[in-house]
Structure 1
């Protein structure tokens, strides 16, 4: 049997191409999609706040078991780029633990995540309400799922999937690769934060700027802690409260747009 060829050296060119491919398969593509969606919204004949951006909608109305199957499939396949990142790090003779994505400090990570979520979640809600009132944001509908037994679990799983994909790829992996490519720290933070804002642009201007600010904060917390896990926990909590809170409050309080 012929011996396997030696792996190619990790040149800057190969690392740059790798980064572009990972982003093209994940959040970079989402950013392009969000920009196109935003252009469609701003050129529509109605105001932005009169339009809706639905985050978790039904896929097969009236067929709850099929709907559940599709949602679980979407959540699982959305995590494939994270598995790809883990594989690429192993090929680098490292592991995803190098990004601080593990359970070795679960209680410390949980505490940090709760504090970050508490600080960012409330200000994010105020920013959204202000942006929508000014006409710069669409009406965000976190859930339009039917009232079935699996609605809340799927919303929480969706929140966790969003958090893992975004924090592993846009913070841990992207900052690692940009550093290896010779980018300065401020430039890498700007690139990461702008990418995070871009794939939220479908929500409107408020969604873009709010997530850029969140991206900068998360990058600096990552630099301090060298761990993605507390950021993923914070993001999961923020999205879970937004998704489940909307289900519980929509139509019952006057300040929440529906």
Structure 2
């Protein structure tokens, strides 16, 4: 680290770092975790089994009005990335920027290759886990998308997948681990916090969504510490969500093993 960067970083007091971290999480995935908890409470207190209820991930914002719907979809994707812009600003203020977490274009092929391997392994295991916990009654039926069949459907689904990946991996892994390390957290404590946070904002899907994503969070933190880059994690997450969204759009109602809500 450059001496100038280190000198600036040391002026960030623990109180400032704690407040900053809480604000970033409050504007993004921390708030999503609280929302998911409330949604989960609503689901478990509603009559009927969880598997007979559904959670839709990408749905129409203006049914019957495709151009207005497209505008809302693009607005939602863009506004969801504002916390990432905030993190980029805060890291730039430290004079380290997003490259400090390995979110840059210096290793595109390696990031994509690693991400593809991770996506293939975790995606397959994740699908099997979801089908199992849903059948056991611990999860809602996850409906990845319910968009109308219009020309922009697939592009929006891909953009939504990439948005999810960029938001989650830069904040829950790169940013959070950096800040917790600066605050003196142990590696084990930071790993647990990151994994529990990832699980928390998937709780609206049920206990399967919580524990499955928490396990994924542990793996992603370990990979990040090994590689020193969130790039492969963003690639992996983008591929997992793209396959889930687009695959559902193409297969729903055509194969018997895929629950449709």
* TM-score between the two structures when normalised by the length of structure 1: 0.97
CA-CA distance at 1:161 after TM superposition: 0.1
- Aligned mates of 2:68, 2:48 — CA distance in 1: 34
**Corresponding residue number in structure 1 for 2:72:** 70
Q: What is the 5 A alignment of 1:2-151?
A: 9-151=11-153
- Aligned mates of 2:191, 2:57 — CA distance in 1: 26
Aligned CA RMSD, in angstroms, stands at 1.2
Question: Which residue among 209, 221, 224 is the counterpart of 1:222?
Answer: 224
* TM-score between the two structures when normalised by the length of structure 2: 0.96
Aligned length in residues: 253
- Aligned mates of 2:13, 2:221 — CA distance in 1: 25
Whether 1:254 and 2:260 are equivalent positions in the alignment is no
**Corresponding residue number in structure 2 for 1:3:** none
CA-CA distance at 1:8 after TM superposition: 10
Listed as ranges, the gaps of 5+ residues in structure 2 are 1-7
Question: Which residue among 235, 238, 250 is the counterpart of 2:237?
Answer: 235
CA-CA distance at 1:93 after TM superposition: 1.9
Question: In 2 relative to 1, CA 7–130 (structure 1 residues): closer, same or farther, beyond 3 Å?
Answer: closer
Q: Deviations over 1:134-189 (max 9, x none)?
A: 00000000010000010000000000000000000000000000000000001000
**Corresponding residue number in structure 2 for 1:207:** 209
SS in structure 2 at match of 1:72: helix
Whether 1:159 and 2:158 are equivalent positions in the alignment is no
CA-CA distance at 1:9 after TM superposition: 2.9
- Aligned mates of 2:51, 2:110 — CA distance in 1: 40
Listed as ranges, the gaps of 5+ residues in structure 1 are 1-5
